[in-house]
A and B are shown apart, each in its own frame.
Chain A
Amino acid sequence: MTLKEAKNGKLYVVEESTIGQPVKRRLEAMGLIEGTLIRKINQALDGSIIFMVRGNRLAIGKELADYILLREALDSDLERGRRGSCRDHGRGRGHGRGHGHGRGFRGTCARGQALGKMLDSDLSGMEDKN
């Protein structure tokens, strides 16, 4: 579904963004990338949308919202979030390449926990009332 079709107050996972450059790049810099959890907050009559992504509260026009494709956050996304366990990224971290500093700190994956935090805020009473 597109961001426009999503429900207020609900959590979704970004599947794809087909917005043209350079706006896409700007949104990515703000954290809107594949696999990110977003929470739709509000939609205006003209189709403009407010949503939350990685602590950014963004307002976008309806044409942009049409190009952001989402899927509903599944129980597994949420469960993973709550447990704070790691998602399989499918890519290596380049261990053993001898880059030195910073290497030792890359143990855990935190994406799940970040999801969990968004989820908690979601449960704290922001269900859609429309």
Chain B
Amino acid sequence: MIADKKDNIAPKRENGQLKEELQIGFIGNPNSGKTTLFNAYTGARLKVANWPGVTVEKKQGAFKYHKHIYKLVDLPGIYSLTSYSIEEKVSRQYILSDDVDVIVDVADASNLEKNLYLALQLIEIGKPLVLALNMMDVVEERGMEIDTHRLHEMLAIPVIPVSARKKTGLDILMHAVSHSTDMDLKHKRIMVYSDPIEDKIEKLVQRLVAYDPAIYNPRFFAIKLLEQDKEIMETYPIDVSDIVDRSYETDIINEKYDFIEEIVEETLINKQEKEIFTDKVDSVLTHRIWGLPIFFAIMGLVFFLTFALGNGITGILEQWLEGLGSWTETVLKDLRVGPVITSLLVDGIIAGVGTIVTFLPNITILFLALAFLEDSGYMARISYVMNGLMSKVGLSGKAFIPMLLGFGCTVPAIMATRTLENQRDRIKTILITPFMSCSAKIPIYILLSGLFFGKFAPLAALSMYVIGLVTGLLTAYLVNKIEKGMDKKKDKGRGQELNQLLIELPEYKTPNAHSIFIYVWENVKAYLTKAGTTIFLASVVLWFILRFGTGGFVEDMSQSFGASIGRILVPVLGPAGLGFWQIGLSLIAGLAAKEVVVSSMGILFGIANVESALGLSAMQQSLAAIGFGALNAYSMMIFVLFYTPCVAALAVIGQELKSIKWTALVFAFQLVFAWLASILVYQIVGLFI
């Protein structure tokens, strides 16, 4: 009955020998620790956090174990093999492709019941499969026990207890994987359905084999046909209407869960509900009334720490940098290096790159705070407490997760929109996420507010976050209104439920020091790398165009090429109070990376360290000399808040929207919006002072 012929999804062998290289796919429910396990094997430092949907892209890595090369693929978490959101499609496509030799189902052993549903479906595919029972350390902590021997008997696949966090059981898991390549699950009946369903499966198997004698696992496809899976129905366009008179999906799910209950009953010993801690924390953090104010208070604290505390620590770096500048100048003088090179090093590179480095404490604190929010388990709750507000602007609370990540960096934030099921919601969220001030804008806010707002500086900086958030929400609201207007003309039959909140809330846990370290370090490293590459290059280029004019090397920067470029923008930026060639030039430079706005001002005003007291007053004098005051500064902050995200963010927007037209539209929208908003602020506030 069942064809023995192997087609392309059978395990790969070369000349009867096991391949030297094995492709292993890590799959499992969201937040079951696939990425932690992946990191443990490959030494990679992919981001891990305690909320479902951290991994949205398939990531690959390799390591050598005994004679084999193991190629690991980390996949986005899924609940079932039906395709619902983008990340689910990514995972399902990969698992069903012929690229994978062995599937490792990474299950959260501390929550066996919900993780077994996917396991049963994977078993039905019939490919070599190993069940990794992750988080066994948590299971032990809670005084639970899992009879892995019995579990193996019931599921007929290797069951290996591991702890990705404690790095236990890793060798045994790979050992099991290497011995599972020619596992034959197709001929085993692990999940047996009730008689009526089994009868239908049997009939469908006959039809499928008649249609395609080489079919790999007709039972799997028969079950999918019973579920009326669209993709499979297209792959096998045979008439089965006499057998499949309706979708049997719910029946099949029901019976799977019946079996899961049996498994849990027989294998889980001393099941303890350790959810009480989470319930207690949730009764405060997700409180009916206090949930939202608490969230705003937490975010207020995060930004207060970023600006107030960060500036305190900065002092050490400033002194060090000032020393470096003058030391370099003396050394170069002693070495009789020409003034042009000295100027490039001191006025160009140290002034440009050095300026950026002094903001490191602020950036570190912000990412530390975000890491805490993400690793504690609070992140998913934010989408619940914000759902009311978000649904007023036509988005689900889930869309707030990318927005919040946007306070760190726009690039991963845009990627995180993949967890949103509704395409329109995704586009809207991608449109407004850049309004959430990313960490690269922090130096600009600190610099300008520090220059002009004295003791109100943190307040001025904080106002940027509030204005950005409110504008983002208003934009979503307006887009939603326009959409609704258009929908009324068309038919209304689209799945309204799709943009409804549906998210799993993980258990709270004490943030893991290692995960937090990785998170913060990777971001700090990225910031420093940017200082060493993009900002370094931009500084050199800026120094050149500011020190050279039509007549060669110039002492007076206003005679330089740079000044000529900046002057083009003067009439455009004039109404916004930004009609200065220096400002125009630094805003253009800021397209490369937002930090460059600050580094270029450092070069423009010849100050090695704009954050020191001396640097600040010198810069203030230079700015005052050209007529740039507090209102101009605020207008500039507004402009920077809204204007086009950096090149990297634009690239990822392009990649996610898959449309040059839309990307160009986002680019133009943000540029025009920034221009109008800064004009508005400058003109209206100008009336009152």
Q: A-side interface residues toward B, CB under 8 Å?
A: 19-23, 25-31, 33-36, 41-48, 50, 52, 54-61, 63-64, 89, 91-94, 97, 99-103, 105-106, 108-111, 113-114, 117-118, 120-121, 124-126, 129-130
Is A61 in contact with B194, judged by CB distance below 8 angstroms? no
Is B190 in contact with A20, judged by CB distance below 8 angstroms? no
List B368-426 residues whose CB lies under 8 Å from chain A.
380-381, 383-385, 387-389, 391, 396-397
Q: Which residue of B lies closest to A125 (CB)?
A: B276
In the complex, what distance in Å separates the CA atom of A94 from the CA atom of B196? Answer: 9
Interface size class of B (residues with CB under 8 A): 35 or more
Given A42-B288, A109-B258, the answer on whether A59 and B497 have CB atoms closer than 8 Å is: no
A55 in complex: contacting residue of B111, B265, B266, CB < 8 Å: B111
B529 within 8 A of A: no
Given A29-B80, A99-B189, A99-B192, the answer on whether A48 and B262 have CB atoms closer than 8 Å is: no
Is B195 in contact with A97, judged by CB distance below 8 angstroms? yes
B4 within 8 A of A: no
In the complex, what distance in Å separates the CA atom of A29 from the CA atom of B227? Answer: 13
Query: Which of the segments B125-133, B249-257, B325-333 contacts the partner chain?
Result: B249-257
B84 in complex: contacting residue of A25, A56, A93, CB < 8 Å: A25
B289 within 8 A of A: yes
List B587-626 residues whose CB lies under 8 Å from chain A.
none
Q: B-side interface residues toward A, CB under 8 Å?
A: 79-80, 82, 84, 111-114, 117, 153-154, 156, 188-196, 198, 249-250, 253-255, 257-259, 261-262, 264-266, 271, 273, 275-276, 278-279, 282-283, 286-289, 291, 380-381, 383-385, 387-389, 391, 396-397, 495-498, 500-507
Not counting A57-B506, A57-B507, a sample of 19 additional A-B residue pairs whose C-beta atoms are within 8 angstroms of each other reads A23-B497, A28-B253, A35-B254, A45-B388, A47-B388, A48-B501, A50-B282, A54-B114, A57-B505, A59-B503, A64-B502, A94-B195, A97-B195, A97-B198, A103-B192, A105-B154, A110-B265, A117-B271, A120-B273
Across-interface contacts of A55 in B (CB, < 8 A): 111-114
Is A44 in contact with B264, judged by CB distance below 8 angstroms? no
List the 7 closest pairs (A to B, CB-CB), nearest first. A46-B388, A110-B265, A121-B273, A99-B189, A29-B80, A61-B501, A61-B500
In the complex, what distance in Å separates the CA atom of A125 from the CA atom of B277? Answer: 11
Is B282 in contact with A42, judged by CB distance below 8 angstroms? yes
B253 in complex: contacting residue of A29, A47, A121, A124, CB < 8 Å: A29
Is B191 in contact with A102, judged by CB distance below 8 angstroms? yes
Across-interface contacts of B249 in A (CB, < 8 A): 25, 28
In the complex, what distance in Å separates the CA atom of A112 from the CA atom of B531? Answer: 61
In the complex, what distance in Å separates the CA atom of A25 from the CA atom of B227? Answer: 11
Report 20 cross-chain contacts, Cβ distance below 8 Å, ordered by A residue: A29-B82, A31-B113, A31-B257, A44-B288, A44-B384, A54-B113, A57-B275, A59-B384, A60-B501, A64-B502, A91-B196, A93-B192, A99-B198, A102-B154, A103-B189, A106-B192, A117-B271, A120-B273, A121-B275, A124-B273
Across-interface contacts of B259 in A (CB, < 8 A): 106
Is A63 in contact with B500, judged by CB distance below 8 angstroms? yes
Q: Which residue of A lies closest to B259 (CB)?
A: A106
Is B273 in contact with A117, judged by CB distance below 8 angstroms? yes
Across-interface contacts of B193 in A (CB, < 8 A): 94
Across-interface contacts of B258 in A (CB, < 8 A): 89, 109, 111
In the complex, what distance in Å separates the CA atom of A108 from the CA atom of B380? Answer: 37
Given A23-B502, A26-B79, A44-B387, the answer on whether A31 and B114 have CB atoms closer than 8 Å is: yes
In the complex, what distance in Å separates the CA atom of A114 from the CA atom of B271? Answer: 10
In the complex, what distance in Å separates the CA atom of A97 from the CA atom of B198? Answer: 10
In the complex, what distance in Å separates the CA atom of A100 from the CA atom of B271? Answer: 30
How distant is A2 from chain B, measured CB to nearest CB, in Å?
14
Across-interface contacts of A126 in B (CB, < 8 A): 276, 279
Across-interface contacts of A109 in B (CB, < 8 A): 258, 261-262
Given A52-B275, A103-B189, the answer on whether A114 and B265 have CB atoms closer than 8 Å is: yes
How distant is B77 from chain A, measured CB to nearest CB, in Å?
12
Is A59 in contact with B380, judged by CB distance below 8 angstroms? yes
In the complex, what distance in Å separates the CA atom of A99 from the CA atom of B497? Answer: 40
B113 in complex: contacting residue of A19, A34, A47, A114, CB < 8 Å: A114
Across-interface contacts of A54 in B (CB, < 8 A): 113-114, 257
Across-interface contacts of B497 in A (CB, < 8 A): 19-20, 23, 63-64
Across-interface contacts of A41 in B (CB, < 8 A): 279, 282
Is B391 in contact with A46, judged by CB distance below 8 angstroms? yes
Across-interface contacts of A23 in B (CB, < 8 A): 495, 497-498, 500, 502
In the complex, what distance in Å separates the CA atom of A56 from the CA atom of B195? Answer: 30
In the complex, what distance in Å separates the CA atom of A117 from the CA atom of B275? Answer: 12
How distant is A48 from chain B, measured CB to nearest CB, in Å?
5
A60 in complex: contacting residue of B196, B266, B289, B500, CB < 8 Å: B500
In the complex, what distance in Å separates the CA atom of A22 from the CA atom of B494? Answer: 12
Is B156 in contact with A101, judged by CB distance below 8 angstroms? yes
How distant is B296 from chain A, measured CB to nearest CB, in Å?
15
